[in-house]
Amino acid sequence: MPVIVDQNMRERIAHEAAFFPVSYFENELSELPGWAGPLHWHPDFEIARAETGVLDYQVGKTHILLNPGDGIFVNRNLLHGVKQVSGNVPDPLPIVVFSGTLIAPETSTISQKYIVPIADCTSLPFIVFRRQDDWCGEIHDLMDEIFTCLKQQTGCYELAVQRDLNRLFELLICRLDALPKIQATRVQLRTQVRVQKMLDYIYTHYAEPITIADIAQAASISRSEAARCFHEYMDCSPVNALIRYRLQTAHRLLHDTSLTVQQIGLDCGFGSANYFSRKFRSFYGYPPGHVRDLGK
């Protein structure tokens, strides 16, 4: 199941087992229309790397271009998403989502000393590992090992992954003062929380008849403030964000289920099949039925 198209973008990152809180994803972009997914967030850390194409990784309202070989660390509970902007085939984009508890329990001295300073650093929403930067050499080696271990799952792979993530945090904490920071103002932090609350409402209630007033109420703000927040983070209106998510969900259902086009349109909150088809064609450039034609 693609990590960035889950119905509840905040909660539905499911690890293989509770005792080993790590999830590995690969080739997710190939399953997403336009090789792009909506903004989402989760309480875990994330590391990912561009392999063959150029990726636009959005973290908060910052866009980071990753060239082939560049990696990224995304801090927990932050809005983020990815879109491929160049390349003839979808990038494999290996992604690892993991809890800090894999390294140490939250109440432990190790966690307080080495995990929390990074996790709670509001000026460190992400860290970019450029392939050409000398200090990133060992980090890329660690990422190679982590990706391989999680993909192949041979031998004592859990211990190897835990060891490599420990070393990754050791390298980051030792370089913490030198890492580039983005100082977020209190207003920016508040805006991100508001966007998360409104997106959570959209992702939960997209199938229902909802208005911009409903979306704004989810964050206890006015409709004009809701519009400002969405334009700042998503460059669109709340209603457009709702329609976009409905269409992305519909595209997934067309690909993964045998439901009729009419039923999918209704299930995704569109009032009629004609309205659904018109919006779908306008957004993707082809009719809903074309998704199934491509899969034959």
Query: CA dist 68 to 46, 47, 52, 133, 180, Å?
Result: 18, 15, 5, 14, 21
Whole-number average pLDDT of the chain: 90
Instruction: Please compute Rg for the chain using Cα positions.
Output: 20
Q: In this predicted structure, what is the pLDDT of residue 2?
A: 35
Say what the pLDDT of residue 188 is: 86
Output the CATH code of domain 22-178.
Answer: 2.60.120.10
Q: Which amino acid is at 62?
A: T
pLDDT at 37: 82
Q: What's the pLDDT score for residue 213?
A: 96
User: Measured between alpha carbons, how far is 77 from 10 in angstroms, rounded to an integer?
Assistant: 8
**What pLDDT shows up at residue 33?**
82
Regions in the chain scoring below 50 on pLDDT: 1-13, 17, 296
Fold identical between 22-178 and 186-295? no
Helices in the chain by DSSP H: which ranges? 109-110, 116-119, 137-152, 157-174, 186-205, 212-217, 223-234, 238-256, 261-267, 273-284, 289-295
Asked if 179 contacts 117 with a C-beta cutoff of 8 angstroms, the reply is no
pLDDT the model gives residue 183:
83
Other Cβ atoms less than 10 A from the Cβ of 147: the count is: 22
What is each CA distance from 172 to 75, 117, 138, 139, 281, in whole angstroms?
A: 12, 10, 11, 9, 46
The Cα–Cα gap between 272 and 263 comes to 9
Under a CB-based contact definition with an 8 Å cutoff, are residues 12 and 6 in contact? yes
Would strands 95-98 and 45-49 be described as parallel, antiparallel, or unpaired?
antiparallel
As a CATH number, domain 186-295 is: 1.10.10.60
pLDDT at 31: 82
> Where is 66: in which H helix or E strand?
strand 62-66
pLDDT of residue 18: 59
Domain ranges in the chain? 22-178, 186-295
- What pLDDT score does 187 carry? 87
Q: What's CA 2's distance to the chain center, in Å?
A: 10
What gap in Å lies between CA 68 and CA 80, rounded to an integer?
A: 19
Structure confidence by residue, pLDDT tens digits, 112-169 = 999 999 999 999 999 999 999 999 999 999 999 999 999 999 999 999 999 999 999 9
